[in-house]
Amino acid sequence: MSDTNDLKSNSLLSALKPEEFDTLMPELELVSLDEGSSLSTNKKPAEFLHFPLDAVAGMYQGQGKNAVQVATTGNEGAVGISLNLLGAPVFNKTEVISSGEAYRLSTDTLNKKFQLHSPLQQLLMRYSQVLITQMKHSSGCRRSHSIEQQLCRWLLQSLDRLPSMELNTTQQMIANKLGLTLKSVQETTDRLRSIGLIDLGNDYIGIHDRRSLEDRACGCYSRIKQEIQHWSLA
């Protein structure tokens, strides 16, 4: 049996009506997710739907070194939603980008016990629109916006899902996630550090001036955030 207060720290779960929530609770399992662990690939579809509490997952498209992060999910939603029903391309990979806990539900249980038009499935379909919005803007962002704008967007999207103003990551990891060169990321982060916006360590980035990062980010960040807020309030 899962703790009700913990469950409701996930926005999608807390949006369920009491009767659906009570039906779902016994089916959920609390798990710890380690940074870098894979939740699904194009060769191994997700066996579980994860509802993050404080973990964060990234969804990627592309193969091998060309894979780039196109969507992010934290405690506002769920990881492992199939977008095929909406005609959208599937993610090539989903992995944990910030360790933490999540509740998981097996996809078999989801499909057998919660029918397509159940409240849970309807919420999942609604949240899938958030993922599609992220995919659309991430793709356009890479084509149209500067490296600094892309980097600021990614930092802010990560911060929105974390309890602190510090990210456990490296410049190489950021470059890999965004499909950028290490040199371009190093030059950009060094510039942001030189004007006092961030602090850099071997495996972390600390944020000193979030407002200035928002000013430097492209409009994709605000549009994605608005979509998430709309979903949360709907």
- Asked whether residue 82 falls in the same domain as residue 192, the answer is no
Residues 181 and 175 sit within 8 Å (Cβ to Cβ): yes
- Asked whether residue 15 falls in the same domain as residue 94, the answer is yes
Domain boundary among 141, 161, 180: 141
The predicted model gives 120-134 an average pLDDT of: 88
pLDDT tens digits for 25-68? 999 999 999 999 999 887 888 889 999 999 999 999 887 777 88
Query: Residue 68: which H helix or E strand, with range?
Result: strand 68-73
State both tokens at 41: 């690939």
Q: What share of the chain is helix, strand, coil (3-state, %, to 5)?
A: 50, 20, 30
Residues 6+ apart with CB under 8 A from 57: 33, 39, 50, 72, 73, 74, 79, 94, 95, 96, 97
Q: Which CATH number characterizes residue 173's domain?
A: 1.10.10.10
**Is 229 domain-assigned?**
no
The predicted model gives 207-234 an average pLDDT of: 86
Residue 86 has pLDDT above 50, yes or no: no
**Domain extent for 76:** 4-141
Domain boundary among 110, 141, 172: 141
Q: Which CATH number characterizes residue 94's domain?
A: 2.60.120.10
Domain boundary among 116, 141, 166: 141
Residues 138 and 189 sit within 8 Å (Cβ to Cβ): no
- Asked whether residue 71 falls in the same domain as residue 112, the answer is yes
- Asked whether residue 124 falls in the same domain as residue 35, the answer is yes
- Asked whether residue 116 falls in the same domain as residue 129, the answer is yes
- Asked whether residue 134 falls in the same domain as residue 31, the answer is yes
State both tokens at 164: 């602190």
- Asked whether residue 24 falls in the same domain as residue 75, the answer is yes
Model confidence band, residue 227 (pLDDT cutoffs 50, 70, 90): confident
Q: Which residue has the higher pLDDT, 89 or 171?
A: 171
DSSP secondary structure letter of residue 8 = T
- Asked whether residue 157 falls in the same domain as residue 70, the answer is no
- Asked whether residue 129 falls in the same domain as residue 212, the answer is no
- Asked whether residue 88 falls in the same domain as residue 113, the answer is yes
Query: Pick from 161, 130, 149, 147: which is nearest to 223 by CA?
Result: 130
pLDDT tens digits for 187-208? 999 999 999 999 998 888 999 9
Model confidence band, residue 119 (pLDDT cutoffs 50, 70, 90): confident
User: pTM for the full model?
Assistant: 0.86
State both tokens at 107: 């996809």
- Asked whether residue 184 falls in the same domain as residue 119, the answer is no
**Is 226 domain-assigned?**
no
**Is 223 domain-assigned?**
no
